[in-house]
Every structure is written in C-alpha cells, then in structure tokens.
Amino acid sequence: MTFTRYAIYFAPPAAADWTKFATSWLGWDIENGAEVAHPVIDGIDVAAVSQVPRKYGLHGTMKPPFRLRTGQSLSALQSACATLAASRAPVAMEGLEIARLGRFLALRPLGHAEQLNALAAACVHELDDFRAATSEAELARRRAANLTRDQEANLIQWGYPYVLASFRFHITLSGRLDKPTLVKVQSALDTHLGPLLPTPFEITDLTLMGEAEDGRFHLIHRYALSG
C-alpha cells in the first residue's frame, strides 16, 4: 500500500474491551484497515458524531502526520522508530476519563503527565529529520486558528502548533458538537465506554501509522517501549 503521510501514534491494545468499543464507535479499525459497524445507541447518530475523527482511527497522537522528506525512506523511518522505542520506558498513568475539549469529546489521561509528555517530545524531536517542510497552504490553514506565539514557533520549527509545551495528549471521539448534542453524547459515552476504561492507563508501545491515498490511517508496525 502507498502512503502519503506518516505519523507516530499511541494505538490502544486491540484486544482490550475499551479499544473494541471505541473502535466501533469511530467505525474504522486501524489495526486491520477495515470499516467496522457502529454501536446502536438510542438517540445518538454515532456515524455522524464520529465522522470527523473516523479516518484517523482510535489513537493518541505522539508525532503529528508528516510527509516524508526527499531522500528519506520508509525503511529508515522504521529503523529510527525501533531505536527510539528501545530507548524509552513504558508510561503508566492513573487512568482515562471522557472529557470535553472545547466542543468535542476525547479521552484524557488522569494523573501526572510528565513522562507521557516527555515521550511525545522525544517522538517530535528524534524523528524530525524524516519530516518534509510544511507547505505554505498548510501554514496558512494552521494560522487561521489564531495561534499563540509559542504555537506559531512550533509550527515553524516542527510543522505543527500543538507540540512540546502546547501538547495535550487526547484520544478523539467526536467532531465539534453543539451543546445539547455534546451533553447527550457524553452521557452515552459515560454509560457505555466509561466502565470499560483502564485503571491504570498504560502506554507500552508506539505505532508507526501510514495515511493511505483515501485519507484513512493504517497501522504499519508496533514498537515496544523497552528502555
């Protein structure tokens, strides 16, 4: 399969019950590269609610999607991912919660995030030689969000505004919703997903992802954190 962009994600363990539910919620299985049926929940149009994040699959971004720099190769990127993962220890936090981030819903970690943030920063720094320069169109699109000074600096240096000090780990579950829908969907997720969420929440590997020509992301390989 040909990929247009790559990314480093946390992809939840496929066998976990919470992963299975949240994957069906989104309707796209990154592990198998296949559509899956949405859960049927009274009063919720799950397909509509999850349309925006669907193509990315169930994930937490560690290094945002990037085009491969000229002169670099997928095999070299894979080797660098393996080296990075071998030098970093797994991360454990208290758990996950269903949270509102502005007008969308996501899973957020509970507890101190220093180790998680350091792992994400390492992905941004240590793999940046593989990232092609950000296009002018992409710069303009990102700047339309009224970036802060630090976010603008991140955009210029790292190709994405919300990294390093501006990073907030999250696993997106919806697009932007109006307030009544937001309340209703959060209640449904609290009922159906909330009891399945892990305690503790552990990140034991990093995943290299590829974006296919149709815009959907596929899991290429998992790299165990073994440092």
pLDDT score of 1 = 85
Bridge partners (DSSP) of residue 203 are 91
User: CA 4 to CA 214: how far, in whole Å?
Assistant: 9
pTM for this predicted structure:
0.96
CA dihedral 147, 150, 155, 160 (to 10 degrees): -80
pLDDT digits (tens, 9 = 90+) for 93-114: 999 999 999 999 999 999 999 9
- Say yes or no to pLDDT of 211 above 90: yes
Q: Strand, coil or helix: what is 47?
A: helix
Instruction: Provide the edge-to-edge strand list for the sheet that holds 104-110.
Output: 95-101, 104-110, 171-172
Q: What are phi and psi of 206, to 5 degrees?
A: -115, 150
In angstroms, the Cα distances linking 128 to 68, 146, 173 are 10, 24, 27
Only one residue has tokens 């399969």, namely 1
pLDDT digits (tens, 9 = 90+) for 110-141: 999 999 999 999 999 999 999 999 999 999 99
Higher pLDDT, 1 or 172: 172
pLDDT digits (tens, 9 = 90+) for 35-84: 999 999 999 999 999 999 999 999 999 999 999 999 999 999 999 999 99
**What is the mean pLDDT of the segment spanning 190-205?**
98
The domains found in the chain, sorted by start residue, are 3-111+169-224 (3.90.1140.10)
pLDDT score of 227 = 85
Average pLDDT, the chain: 97
Bridge partners (DSSP) of residue 97 are 108
User: CA 142 to CA 148: how far, in whole Å?
Assistant: 11
Q: Strand, coil or helix: what is 224?
A: strand
Q: Which of 175, 169, 193, 53 is nearest to 102 (CA)?
A: 175
